[in-house]
Amino acid sequence: MATFSILLGIAVAIAIGAMSPGPSFVLVSRISVANTRLHGLSAAVGMGLGGALFAVLALAGLIALLERVEWLYLVLKVAGGIYLLYLGVMIWRGAREPISVGSPDGRGMLSAPRALMLGLVTQVSNPKTAVVYASIFAALMPQDPPLMVVLALPPLIFLIETGWYAIVAIAFSASRSQQAYLGAKLWVDRLAGAVIGALGLRLIGESLTQLRR
């Protein structure tokens, strides 16, 4: 019973965090609406893999090490911010490129493996998420957690992250969503690019502010 209570508490906290708006949500929704449901689900799996990776790192104590070695954490934040900024610029620049949503020949679409990798890299590009994971674990896990909890957490978090973003993918890959996207592609892509780029700049800005202190 104690094991179930621990896992339930962590699962609820992680699920609330996953549902909060951010670059991951923007990316999965855009991939889904601009391509096919398979692409969106592939990106969702990438998000789940990123979440599971963070869980493993947090359990291994590597996140705590990052918090103590401040310069390394700042370097990772800057690198993540640069990636998000680059991704935002690429989406903005491609806003005027015409596509045929769900076209049989696949023109204008990502490959499913690339969609998965985009999801994975976007998820792990923000080390602040890793710190949130570590904080939740520290707050909700006992000092000497049962082995079952340690073994169950990475797959549990994978299922939570993948499940949430799969819902996003299914919603945004519906035909009505795709038709609406085609009608407003320029502004949807520019908004998505601006949001992701702004989040990247925020990461970089926070890092530079911390360096000046």
Give CA angle at 131 (125, 137), nearest 5°: 130
Domain boundaries, the chain: 2-6+24-212
Handedness of CA 108, 111, 112, 118 (dihedral sign): negative
The number of angstroms, rounded, from the C-alpha of 133 to the middle of its chain's C-alpha atoms is 13
| 12-70 confidence digits (pLDDT tens) | 988 888 887 788 888 899 899 888 899 999 999 999 999 999 888 888 876 666 667 67
| 94-152 confidence digits (pLDDT tens) | 777 766 555 444 444 678 899 999 999 989 887 777 777 877 887 788 777 788 888 89
Considering the entire predicted model, what is its pTM? 0.81
Residue 123's Cβ-count burial label (10 Å; 0-12, 13-18, 19+) is buried
